[in-house]
Structures are given as structure tokens and as C-alpha cells.
A and B are shown apart, each in its own frame.
Chain A
Amino acid sequence: MPLKHYEHCCSTIQALASLGKIEGVIPLLHGPQPCSYQNQVGSMSCRPANLVTAGTLVNKSDVIFGGEEGLKMQVRNLYNKYHPKVIVIINTCIPQLIGEDIEGVIMELKQEIPDLKVTTCVSGFNFPRSMPLGSDASWVAVLDAIETQEKVLGSIGIIGRTGQDAGNLASLEMYFKKAEIPYFVFPTAHIDSMSEIARAEKYYPIHITPWLTCKHLTEKFGGEVEFIEIPAGIQGTSNFLHAIADRQNSQKLHDLVEEEEKRITPELEKIRARFAKEKVRMLMVDGPANEVSVGKIFAEFGAEVFVIPSMKNKFYKQEKKLMQERYGVTFIEEDFDLLGDIIDEVKPTAVSVEFQAQPECVSRLVPTFINMLYLCEYGYDYAIDLGTNFFKNMHKPVYENWQGLMQKYGGKTNG
């Protein structure tokens, strides 16, 4: 059993933050006060704007006598005050533990307010080891509120990871637009546009997280799901787009990919030359699943990459196999006590970790990147930007300076 947990946060935060980025949806956090407080404050930094983070503030008597009445009251309050199109009840640990009948509450509320759509998702200890799956669970809840629609012939659906992807997928969308392939994106920043996903004929997840979402999409709306690979890095993006071009029979998309590769290749070669010269070992520690995608980008540059994954679902296994075969990436799936133990073993040039691991890494004078800050990592330009600025952003001279200072005056580092 590990001594610490290095993920960014509880899956409840992920559900709260993702749902909170969708206009027309209000998440209602069904849990006790500390759960509301911690999850609201914790998601503050990644919320783009208004987020009504209503909570039921479950108390002791709710635990004994049931919190359903309080939940119903808060749903009514939210509906009367904001008239959202959808309310998603995020069912946290305590109500799960006492076996609250959330579905029953939803049924009653549907009869009481026919216009209102209420759905639910479970978070908290339902996903004890995988914070990003809070998004997956919340997207399923959103899909529950979407009506079946007529499919658009020859259309594709691009299935993203978290709320952060909503409105941030231009790096992929523009190729479909240029190639005149009808496409729908999920998530988007508005429930209306997000609902359009039901019209897609085929779904292409672009990350490893939305496995449940994709399963639910096909079950509810029909259509096929194909996980090609994460379109991150040059080869990853090209493979993804070429695969879609093949399926859609679109020479235009093939041509666009080739044009982009011509544009990007000289820059990629420069980056590879630098990585070849400076030999980088990157340790990617479980983040919002970008330990896999950003890890793939580094591996393409020529870095030796070690990944501690945040999840092990079906899409992850496919991507893992691909990264092992293509780039020889090492995956560390066994439990470990402290990150320092892994750092001592791997001896990385730099690590990519979550905030709470930063003091542990910096105090070892290991250059540290915060993986929560490296999102929307799709497409060509992201990879080139990451590679071009990697050595500058690593700030090795600052660490070396500190190493010198501590050797001379202090001496108490963990390195």
C-alpha cells in the first residue's frame, strides 16, 4: 500500500470542474461541507468563469435519516434560481456509503418538474486511484441528458478528455474543417453544441480517459467507436488524421497532413538533435492522463521516458502498447511508497508531476514540470512549442546554482 498519493485531486473535483465549464449545466455536489469546500477551492484555479457550485452540505442527521429531502430541496432551489438545462448531481463518498437513492430522487423530481433534466454521476472513492475518470463519469451523466438525434451522413465525433478541452480543440478541428469533413466535438462549452455529438456516425476518442463516455455513446446513440491513438506529437497527430482520412476516404485530409509534416519537420529535426545531444530522461508521474500523451511527445523527441500511469482502462492499454513498441517507453505500474524512491531509481533529468509532489522533487534539485499546466496537448504546434522551449523551461542553470549554494552553505537537500 503506498504511503502517499500523487494525483492532483479527488475525482469529484474533476467532475465538478469539467461540468462547471459547460454553459447550461449546473453541478450539484451532494456531500458534506468539507467535501464541498475542498472541491470548490481545489477546482477554483481551473474554472474559466462562473461556476455555481451548489452543495447539499450533508450533515449528521442526513446521514442517519437520509439526505434525499435536502437534495431535492437544493435541486428545486437551483432550478428556480438559474433555470439550467441540466443539473448533474455529483454523488460523493458519504451518500454512496449510506446508500442514498439518488435515482429515486431524480425520478420524483422529473414528475414534479417535467422541464428539468437531472442526472447523476458518482465520484470520490468510486474512483480511488484515477482522478481524471471524474471527467469520464461526468460526461456520461451529461450524455444521459441528451436526446437521440438524426445522424449526419459521413460525420465524425471527436471525443475529448476533460472540460479543459471544451473550446480548446482548434488544433484538430481546423483540419476537418479544411477537409470539409462534417464533425462534432465533445465536450464543448455549451450544452446545446455538446448535444450535437449524438449526430455523429463514428466516434474517435482523442485521449485515453473517455472510455466510459464512448461506451455510453454507442449504447445510447449507436455508432462505432475507434480509439486510433492520442493525436499528440507529430507522428501521433499524423497517424490519427491519416487514419480518419482513410476511414472518410478524404484525400484532402491526407494532403493537409502531408503539408503540415513538411512545415513541421525542420523544427522537429532541430528538437531531436538537441534531445540527442543532451540525453533526457523524463519521469512522467500520474496526472490528468497527460503523463501518457505528453510522455509520448517527449519520447518522439528522443527522450527516454518513464510513465507512472493514472489509469489502466482499455484505451490506456492500447496507447501503452503503441508507446512501448514505437518508442520503448517504460511504464511503472507497480505501487510505490514515495516518489523520491522512484526518482532515486530512475534518476530522471526532469520530472512531470502534480503540485503536491513539487516540493519533494525540487528539494532533490530535480527540474520539475507541473503536469496540470500542460493540457490540450493535441496537434503539431503544441508538440513543437513544447520541444522548442523544453530546455529553457527546465531552467537547469537555476537548479545548478542552487546546488552550488546548498553545497557551500547549507547542505540539506534531499538530492
Chain B
Amino acid sequence: MADNKKDFKMQELHTPSAFEGALWACIGIKGADTIFHSPPGCYINQHVNALVNDWTCELYTTNLSYANIMQGAEERMETTLEKIVAKKPGAIFIVTAPTVEVTRDDVEGVAKKVGFKDTVIIHPPIGGSLVDGKEKAFTSLLDLVDPTVKKVPKSVNIIGPTFSTFNWRADVHELTRMLAGIGVTVNCVYTAGATIEQIKNVAQAELNLCIYPYDSGIGVAKEMQKRFDIPYKADIIPIGFGNSAAWLESVAEFFKLDPKAYLKECMDNAFEFISSNMVFTVTFEMTAALSLENANTYAVGISEFLNKEAGVDIVMTALSNPDAAKRLEALCNDVLINATIEEKRDKFVETGPMVIYGNFYDKKVSMDEGFKNFIFSDIPTIGYLSSENCPFMGFMGAKYLIEGLVNEVYMGIFLETKGDMMGSISTGSVPWDIKAEQAMIKVGEMIPHFVRATALKKLHQEAEKIAQERGTNVTLAIFREVSDKFTPTKFKAKFSQVFEDDAAPAPAVEAEKDEEIPVSSLTFTLPWDDAAKGMLELVPSPFRQAAVSGTEDYAREHGRDDVIGATMEEFRKELGM
């Protein structure tokens, strides 16, 4: 029993289900209305959670009560459907909720009775995955397609984007731009952002391009090949300069077009970009973790791009597709499949990446652990505004990925390693223990060269400040404390190798443990209110003076000239305490 309890882990679920998949595939289609045949609670959640990632959608509900479900909800469905039909939509999509799937309402019967021609009903499988839901919806929507339409020469469909697919809008925009560059038009984006007319005419295209081969779209592409004789491509992920060029070249080859001039222009520009000062200088010493369970294609494409074309060391990836995971094993030692948030958190701490790509939960747990550099790249986001501007795919996407990484991490680390603009540079002559000096040399070797010298200076300065406050030499324990607190991003795991032989537990602090240091005897350089001073009582005695310094530094950094209870609370949260 005790063991079971120990093994039990509370975790928040970060992977959506087939119901989200089906809804997201439908609600992005313009000119069609979607009905979620569901209780109001399910509906509200789905609607709100869809709108935190996308612009707008038409989603309706049958507002089912307990009684409706128990006694059959066909009447509610019929009433709702009639109201929607009165709006004269281009099509109606009905997605059934889990409760309806349990009682097996006769939705098809109701739809037949109402008699609206372009009605598509989707029953997402209970227990199915996001991909299952999307593929089910994608395939169901094919019922609307006119198979007799004439082919439009040199046209493609982009298969896979749905609402709540991270950054789909920008990726589609960029890939469409690139295709236009070689004379290929996009017939339909299947499905996000497409009009209902484009969906109905999807069979006009000569080629289907699955842009998320490790997530969804291949199922429906195969089905379209069968029904409409449209071949598909899903072998190259258009992420990174090389793969974007290869992807476009492959499309050009299909249409017997010559892409050379366009590709040369794009690659010359890419080469000029990567030759600039701020690219390899930073990326060559960068480590990254990608936690993208709902964006496996991104996980593969971004990892391979950053590693092969920018020299970034990928220290960890977390995803949900085993094939994608297998592919990534070639460049990453730690590939997690369907990991819990706690497992991911532990791995973040163990591998200590300089930047993390992930979702909201990854952001939260990494912040709690002291990681500061984060790039949103997956759902859930809780709230994320995106547009056509910042793609991850294509040539512009490759540039944006580097740009985002360098600007986030370089500036983040740079500012972290700087002292206060108005603080003192040195506290004077403070002696160092030899072990602390040796530790500083070793810690220095673990810091990227582009900030090493300044970062070490800050550690040096902070260690001396604490030693002076405590009236001691700079001991190994003090240096460890400083290294944990003031480091460029989070290097705890790496630094621990330096300290594990000698410094754990910190000897100087241990020695001081028994000595009670009253709050009244502490040195304050800013005015503290009673609430803040009261909170100092909760800090173990040996750490109180350091807590005073740290909090005052924090207050100054945040433009305050005093310390109040709220300041201390914010600082405590930022430290993850």
C-alpha cells in the first residue's frame, strides 16, 4: 500500500482527445456551422478552449440536460438543427459528445428527418486520440466533396492544419508563399481556414501535401487517393532551410517545374542570414529541450533543423508518436514517449537545457524549476495569440526559429548574468577558500562562452557579498548557494557534479544551523513593512540575511524602493518556493 501511494503521481492531462480532434477539424471551416451535440458544460469548455488559440469560429450546442440524455436527445438535436438550417449555412457538421456516444442517440435519423443536404455527422471514438478524432472528421468531410470536378493544373491541397494546431496559420501562409514562388497554387487547406466551397472542391487538386506526417492527415490523404485519384507527399517535413528546399524541390519535380532560380534566391538569403554574427555564436553553444506531444512533426522537424543546420544540442525531446520518437533517437539521448508532466519536469532538471520548447504546462513546471528561456510551440497554451507572422515551417519559419531562439536566449542569459545597473561591483577584499575557487573554475567550464566571463564575475561578486554579510571567507557552501541562485538559465543539474563530492550538505550553513539569527538583527538596505518582515520568520535562520539581500535585489530590479509582503511573495514564487 505504501509503495502504491509512493508511485501514484498527480498530473494534469496535457493531451487532447478524439473529441477535440473532431471539433477542431470542423470549426475552422468558413461558411459552415458546427453543432456539438453535448451538455452545455462540454460545449462551453470546447468553445472557450478553442478560442484561446484561434480567432473565431461558429460552434453551437444542443445544451443537453441529464434528462435529455437519459430519455433520448433526438428532439433537442432536431430543434437545434432546424434553427441552424434556418441560418442557411454552407454545411452543417454535427459532432457528438461522449455522453451522447454512451446513449447512442440516433443523430443520423434526425438529420435525415430535417433533410439538410450538406450535413456531416462525426462520432469521435471514446478513448480515441486527438489524431483519431481529426482523421475521423477529415474522412467524414469527404462526403461533401464533388468527385467530378475538373483538375486545376499545378494545384495542391495542404492537408492537416486544423484549429488549435499550433501556429498553423503562419505555416500555411509561408508554405503557400513558397509554392507560389515556383508557380504552384493552393487549392484548399484541409481544413483550417478553408471555405466550405474549397472543401467541396478539394478534388480539383493534382497533389496532396501532408505537412504534419507525424500527427495527422495521412489517413485522409490515402482516402483521397482512393476516391479522387490524388497522390500525396508526406516524406519531407518542410522545417529548416534544407528540408524546406527539398520539400519545394520535390513538389516542383512532381509538376515538372524548374525551381532552381527560386531556390537559389531563398538559399542565398538563408546563407547570408546564418553567416551573421548572432547565429552560430549563440546557437553553437545552445542546448534545447522540445516537449511537443501534440506536435510530433514539429518535434522532429525543429530538432533536426536546430541540430543539423544550427548546431544546437538537443538534450531532450518528449512526444507521443513512437515513429517520431524512433527517428529522434538518432540525435537525442533522452526521448520520452507520452511522459507525465512530472517525468518531463524531472528530465528538464536533469538535462538543464538553455531553452525549452513546449506547452503551457511545460512553461509552468520549468518556471517553477527556475528555467527562464521558453518558446511556446505546442498546445495547450491557456492563451496564445498567433497570426500569419511567425511561421516555424518554410524558409521564413527557419529564420524565425533561429531569430526567436537567439533573441529569447541570448538576451535572457545576458540579462541574467549582468549585475544590477545601480548595484556595487565589488564589496571589497573577501578571502576565498581554495575549494570554492576550484569549484568556480569548474562551474565556469559549464557556462556557454558567450556569457562565461560576465557570468563568472556575477557569481564571484554575489559570493563575496554573502560571505561579507556572514562574516566568513567565500566557502564552497556559499559558492554552491550562489551557483544555484545566480546562474545563466538553469544549470543546477550540471553544477551539482562540481559540488557533489564536497559540498553537500553545505558545511558552513550546517554549522550555522543552531544559531538563531533574529530578524531584528538583520541588515536592511531598504525599508521593509511588517508583513515582509513577518515572512522572514519563516526563512531558516542561517538563510535570513541572504533572503534579505535577494529580496531587496529583486525589489530594486522591479523598480521598488521598499519591500512589502507582496514583493516577498512574488520573489518566493519566482524562485519556485
Contact = CB atoms under 8 A, between A and B. Distances in A.
Overall SS of chain B's interface: helix
A405 B421 contact: no
Given A23-B426, A401-B309, A168 B457 contact: yes
B185 to A, nearest CB: 23
A398 to B, nearest CB: 4
A402 B308 CA distance: 9
A355 interface: yes
Interface residues of B, number: 58
A196 B429 CA distance: 10
B428 A190 contact: yes
Contacts of B310: 398
B450 A373 contact: yes
A411 interface: yes
Given A188-B429, A363-B275, A409-B264, A174 B434 contact: yes
Q: How large is the interface on A (under 10, 10 to 19, 20 to 34, 35 or more residues)?
A: 35 or more
Given A23-B424, A47-B418, A174-B437, A411 B264 contact: yes
Contacts, number: 167
Contacts of B267: 405-406, 409-410
A48 B424 contact: no
A69 interface: no
Interface string B253-266: 00000001001101
A381 B442 contact: yes
B271 A167 contact: no
A406 to B, nearest CB: 6
A21 interface: yes
Contacts of A170: 432, 437-438, 440-441
A197 interface: no
B498 to A, nearest CB: 12
Nearest to A398: B311
Contacts of B422: 50
Contacts of A359: 275-277
Contact of A374 (B241, B442, B449, B460): B449
Interface string A331-368: 00000000000000000000000011011001100001
A168 B454 CA distance: 10
Contacts of B277: 355-356, 358-359
A177 B434 contact: yes
B71 to A, nearest CB: 65
Interface string B220-254: 00000000000000000000011001000100000
A178 B432 CA distance: 12
B473 to A, nearest CB: 11
Nearest to B248: A409
Given A168-B453, A370-B281, A374-B449, A401 B423 contact: no
B270 to A, nearest CB: 8
A186 to B, nearest CB: 13
B387 to A, nearest CB: 29
Contacts of A174: 434, 437-438
A410 B460 contact: no
A321 B426 CA distance: 38
B291 interface: no
A101 interface: no
A403 to B, nearest CB: 10
A21 B422 CA distance: 13
Interface string A371-386: 0011110010110010
Contacts of B516: none
B467 to A, nearest CB: 13
A77 interface: no
B452 interface: yes
Interface string B303-316: 00000111100000
B445 interface: yes
A247 interface: no
A193 B249 CA distance: 65
A115 interface: no
A289 to B, nearest CB: 15
Given A355-B277, A359-B275, A48 B429 contact: no
B441 A46 contact: no
A33 interface: no
A5 interface: no
Contacts of B453: 46, 164, 168, 373, 375-376
B285 interface: yes
A359 B419 CA distance: 30
A381 B441 contact: yes
Contacts of B285: 393
A45 interface: yes
A49 B420 contact: yes
Contacts of B438: 170, 174
B274 interface: yes
Nearest to A374: B449
B280 A50 contact: no
Contacts of A257: none
A358 B424 contact: no
A412 interface: yes
B243 to A, nearest CB: 10
A178 B271 contact: no
Contacts of A413: 271
A174 B245 CA distance: 54
A22 interface: yes
A48 B440 contact: no
Given A164-B453, A411-B264, A50 B429 contact: no
A410 B267 CA distance: 5
Nearest to B454: A48
A192 B249 CA distance: 66
Contact of A168 (B245, B442, B445, B456): B456
A394 to B, nearest CB: 9
Contacts of A385: 445
Nearest to A25: B425
A370 to B, nearest CB: 6
A168 B458 CA distance: 11
B284 interface: yes
Interface string B442-480: 101100011011101110110000000000000000000
Given A168-B456, A401-B242, A413-B271, 13 more contacts: A49-B421, A167-B460, A168-B460, A173-B437, A190-B426, A193-B426, A196-B429, A358-B275, A374-B449, A381-B445, A382-B441, A395-B280, A412-B264
Interface of B: 241-242, 245, 249, 260, 263-264, 266-268, 270-272, 274-277, 279-281, 284-285, 308-311, 414, 418-429, 432, 434, 437-438, 440-442, 444-445, 449-450, 452-454, 456-458, 460-461
Which A-B residue pairs are the 10 nearest by beta carbons?
Answer: A49-B419, A410-B267, A189-B426, A170-B437, A193-B429, A48-B457, A23-B426, A190-B426, A23-B425, A373-B449
9 contacts: A22-B425, A46-B454, A167-B460, A170-B438, A170-B440, A189-B457, A362-B280, A373-B450, A405-B267
